[in-house]
Structure 1
Amino acid sequence: MRKPKEPRSRKMSGRAFMIGIMLLGVAALAVRLIVAFPHGGFMSDQQLFVDWMEQVRQRGLASVYIEGSNINYPPIFLLLMDLYRSVVGWFGIVPAAGELSFKGVLIVLDLILLAAAVPLTHSMGRTRSRFFVLALLALNPALIFGSASWGQVDMLHSMLMSATLLVLPNLPLLAGVLFALALLSKFQAVTLLAVLGIYFLRRLADRHGIRPLALFAAGFAGILGITAVFFARASGLQAMVKGAYLSAVGMYPQVTMNAMNIWYYFIGTSPTTPDTTRLFGTLTLRSAGFLLLALFVAFAAVYLWKSRLDASSLLKSAALVNFAFFMLPTEIHERYSVPALVMSIFVCLYDRRWAIPTILLSLGVTANLWMVQAEAIGIYTGLIVVYVNVALLLWMVVALCGELRKRHGDRPVFDDVDKPSGSIHEPARFSRSE
């Protein structure tokens, strides 16, 4: 199928595009350094990471979950921190919390992930929409603040989750590898299971999904198998699973941990309300949150089932699921909105209507992070962010409903099952509304 002609106003020359990409890289590094120097950030998180770095140095990654203490992140970040410590150690640098010596690992990770976004978006050509997405990733205030100021690593699993969906239609083996790496980076990546499950069920229902599923499973099992053998040889597999995936569950039994979601006064609950509080004598607030999330996941599943199964629909459904995960369950932290933000940015490759909502989401995430780090959370200023977040969540639902109605009226939904568009190797097909 011939690539549809792009309007001239949306194309950039090869020279201009490459110069723009290089300038974005320089600006991304410069602004992160400018932010990192004067701001110590969230010291308790960084001090914990520096301590983990030292524990890995002393005990080795394979044994650190057995012999170490207070380690509740999966192993990928520990491995990356240990590699960083070794490299900077050649120059006599000892990472310290609140300083560039530690934040350097986060800035380097940001730049690597931003560089990876260039080939991930290659199918869009040298267009302004692609450059907009790359610029929004490179200069996004929420992503910059999260790493260069706060000192967290949410960009890593968010990009791996998004990359999984971008390559899934055409490269299921690589998608399986990326999803395994995402789970080995942060447990929140498990939210993709609903989207991946519906994707493969729909493919199997149309008798086109056995080979993609087998390839995805092979990539996924290969990475997890290597990881399992690595830790099992040191008798540390059980300790790793318990520490990285189970130890933090239920650690903060209150309705919200500084996340500006519906539990932050919006429905009448203060942040410190125990989520074991019962409604009508039977249903706990925690259970109510999961039921609300289940409704949004079910809607996302219906949308995906009736979609083309291309990268655009995968990203949209996953963005909704992840933002609902931030907005609806209890015990949610302020940073759990980052995957939804990164996915929404990539959606802008295919649908320009998501641009303004994504910018608003970026500002909302930034405000939430800043208020927590600066200890400047005010009830009413926080509620402003909550109202924006609620409006964005409802907008996502309305936007996807509109697509369902339009697709139902235009043509059968199964026409394009064998021809996924918008993936890493095939140009997206834009509708008039896009």
Structure 2
Amino acid sequence: MLGDFPGRLSLRHRKEDPRTCSSIDTHSSVSDNPSRSRALSTASPPERDAPAGDVLRDPRVQRGHRALQPLPFRRHRHRQALHQPRRRRAGDARDGGLLRRGTAGGPRKHRRVPGPGPLRPKPGKLPEDLIVFRPVPRGIFLALLTASVGLRVFLATLPGYVSDVESYKRWALGAAIAGLPAAYEVTGVDYPPLFLYALYGAGRIQRWIEPESTPADLRDSALFTFLVKSPHLIFDLLLGGLLYWLVAVRGLWGTARTGVAWGRLVALLYLWNPAVLFGSGYWGQPDGIHSALAVAALAALAWDRAAASGALLSFAGLMKPLAAPLVPLLVLAAGARRGLRGLVLAGGGGLAAALLTLLPFLATGRIGPVLRKILLDVEAMPFTSVNAHNLWWLLGAWRDANAPILGPLTPRTIGLTLFLVSYAALLTRAARLLRSPRIDAGALCARLFLGAAAVVCSFFFLSTHMHENHMFLAIPLLLAVAGRSRHLAWLALGCSLAVFFNMALHDLELPYCMPSFLSMPVPVTNRHLDRPFTLLQLVGSYLNTLLVAAVSASTWLCAWRGKV
């Protein structure tokens, strides 16, 4: 066959070889041209029989000389395919440029676009410059999930942040003994009522196990510590499941990262997050509860469930007031997507949830103490920064937030003004982005999450009265969109580290367990604990404040630009 002939073949460019008088091609090689290879592979065999690999002899040449003869093609299309120059395809990069297809319906034209650039990813495939994460197989996911639950159970038995955990035990036992409506009058609860429902259940279980126990007896009880921390574990698992659903089912990470394997990854990124393990698992802070409710509220709004969204955000605010700054964003989004109907549904859902939560206190006529705690609880610790690594940590922590520092202006007024200005600018921009008729539910949800994360971060960095863990809500919000770009992934990582370091550096024991030079005291007093800071605490707190500032500014800019 022709494929066994050595040399080159052509019908156009020939020159005589003085040794063989044969027609030898000098134009192109068959192997260099895929279109010719396909044409020649389907060509008809020569008319004369010859052994495979033998050379056909031409009787017109002298004896002893051999000549290579081209095959006689039977159809004209073979000759056209043989001589037609190779047509470069769209996406074939040469000389630093890309060839693109012409308009449909006409001849295939190509034009050169200057400059190198990455190709558009095909569905299900990722270009190398965007790959940050990897999907998680089912076996690895189950193993890591089991290990996470086991670790959380162990952490739930540890004392954690002792003063807060002891308060939770006292509230739980008091509510179980005196009844839920009287808890605010008996135990001095300083949380909104939804958290009291969770503690009430823990107290009832403890009373059923040990009927004669008192708060003094249960101070060091590992079982009771586990019971008051168990709601945090349950809601953290629910939040991990919600993130799994958003990525695996709703495709919040984009079409290239949709499926159960990517959903497993985002769930593990939350459950194994150091800030979650330390703050919720070890310290026992209930941030996972209001975070799960707030994330669910934003997701419900993105898929046109305005009433459910209002109810969930109301529950989040009645769990912890840190969800309140998200109300204007939800109102704007509901009005932009559904108009007046959306506003009515969201408001009605929120009001119904609030009435349902406050119903036991309304029925017994004890709503007064509850409302005072909800509305005036912010003045419980009226300081510029309660160990929060924000703007006021740099300007002076643990100072009176209501004392004038710039004429009649107080730190509280300055911080609130800065936050409202940044929030108003963000809402103005978001109103234009959310009204786009071409935006789908996934992109809307991503923009809502990014905008909410910007609100949480800016509120933490600019406002007074902030504690170490008050930026926790930004972690699941950023993880929910982390797979959409490398920049968002870095933001999620930076936020997780910032929240973790803010809590770890102010732990009651951890900073003093470091090596000698890190735990060395410095001549700066910690006004919270009335003891000197360690070198690690002082230097680390200022460095972490810079990290918080960078994360807050970058998140705000991403939300402003609408880049998701």
Give the drift of 1:277: 3.6
Summarize the Cα distance change of 1:218–1:398 in structure 2 as closer, same or farther, 3 Å threshold: closer
**1:274-313 alignment, distance < 5 Å:** 274-308=400-434, 310-313=444-447
Measure, in 2, the Cα distance between the counterparts of 1:279 and 1:220.
38
Letter in 2 for 1:168: L
Summarize the Cα distance change of 1:96–1:18 in structure 2 as closer, same or farther, 3 Å threshold: farther
Give the drift of 1:88: 5.4
Matched residue, 1:413: none
More helix by share: 1
Of the candidates 227, 236, 250, which is equivalent to residue 123 of structure 1?
250
**1:397-408 alignment, distance < 5 Å:** 397-403=556-562
Measure, in 2, the Cα distance between the counterparts of 1:261 and 1:387.
8
Of the candidates 356, 364, 368, which is equivalent to residue 238 of structure 1?
368
Of the candidates 131, 143, 156, which is equivalent to residue 23 of structure 1?
143
Give the drift of 1:274: 2.3
Measure, in 2, the Cα distance between the counterparts of 1:178 and 1:247.
22
**1:335-346 alignment, distance < 5 Å:** 335-346=469-480
Summarize the Cα distance change of 1:119–1:92 in structure 2 as closer, same or farther, 3 Å threshold: farther
Measure, in 2, the Cα distance between the counterparts of 1:55 and 1:271.
34
User: Conserved in 2, the CA contact under 8 Å of 1:28 and 1:111?
Assistant: no
State the secondary structure of the residue aligned to 2:378: coil
Given the alignment of the two structures, is residue 390 of structure 1 paired with residue 549 of structure 2, yes or no?
yes
1:128-176 CA-to-partner distances (Å, cap 9, x unmatched) read: 5433321221111101111221111011101111111112122222212
Of the candidates 112, 137, 141, which is equivalent to residue 274 of structure 2?
141
Kindly report the root-mean-square deviation, in angstroms, between the aligned alpha carbons of the 2 structures: 2.7
TM-score normalised according to structure 1 size: 0.82
Measure, in 1, the Cα distance between the counterparts of 2:348 and 2:376.
28
Given the alignment of the two structures, is residue 371 of structure 1 paired with residue 501 of structure 2, yes or no?
no
Matched residue, 1:256: 385
1:99-118 CA-to-partner distances (Å, cap 9, x unmatched) read: 35323423334334433443
Letter in 1 for 2:351: A
**1:3-14 alignment, distance < 5 Å:** 5-7=123-125
Given the alignment of the two structures, is residue 270 of structure 1 paired with residue 404 of structure 2, yes or no?
no
Letter in 2 for 1:220: G
**1:41-190 alignment, distance < 5 Å:** 41-65=160-184, 67-87=185-205, 90-91=208-209, 96=219, 99=222, 101-104=224-227, 105=230, 106-121=232-247, 122-124=249-251, 125-126=258-259, 129-170=262-303, 171-190=305-324
1:262-321 CA-to-partner distances (Å, cap 9, x unmatched) read: 1112xxx22133223434312111111111111221222123112246111111111111
Measure, in 2, the Cα distance between the counterparts of 1:97 and 1:398.
47
Measure, in 1, the Cα distance between the counterparts of 2:347 and 2:141.
35
Summarize the Cα distance change of 1:120–1:24 in structure 2 as closer, same or farther, 3 Å threshold: farther
Measure, in 2, the Cα distance between the counterparts of 1:90 and 1:109.
24
Matched residue, 1:414: none
Measure, in 1, the Cα distance between the counterparts of 2:199 and 2:389.
30
- Runs of at least 5 residues in structure 2 that lack an aligned partner in the other structure: 1-121, 252-257, 436-443, 512-532
User: Conserved in 1, the CA contact under 8 Å of 2:430 and 2:560?
Assistant: no
Give the drift of 1:248: 2.1
User: Conserved in 2, the CA contact under 8 Å of 1:289 and 1:330?
Assistant: yes
State the secondary structure of the residue aligned to 1:257: coil
Alignment length (residue pairs): 390
User: Conserved in 1, the CA contact under 8 Å of 2:447 and 2:562?
Assistant: no
TM-score normalised according to structure 2 size: 0.64
Give the drift of 1:60: 1.3
Q: Which of 219-228 and 157-166 deviates more? A: 219-228
Measure, in 2, the Cα distance between the counterparts of 1:86 and 1:325.
37
Q: Which gives a bigger RCO, structure 1 or 2 (Cα 8 Å, sep 6+)?
A: 1
User: Conserved in 1, the CA contact under 8 Å of 2:134 and 2:262?
Assistant: no
Give the drift of 1:367: 1.0
Measure, in 2, the Cα distance between the counterparts of 1:303 and 1:52.
43
User: Conserved in 2, the CA contact under 8 Å of 1:55 and 1:68?
Assistant: yes
Give the drift of 1:12: 9.1
User: Conserved in 2, the CA contact under 8 Å of 1:180 and 1:223?
Assistant: yes
Measure, in 2, the Cα distance between the counterparts of 1:90 and 1:21.
36
- Structure showing greater radius of gyration is 2
User: Conserved in 1, the CA contact under 8 Å of 2:175 and 2:200?
Assistant: yes
Letter in 1 for 2:333: Y
Summarize the Cα distance change of 1:131–1:60 in structure 2 as closer, same or farther, 3 Å threshold: same
Measure, in 2, the Cα distance between the counterparts of 1:96 and 1:103.
12
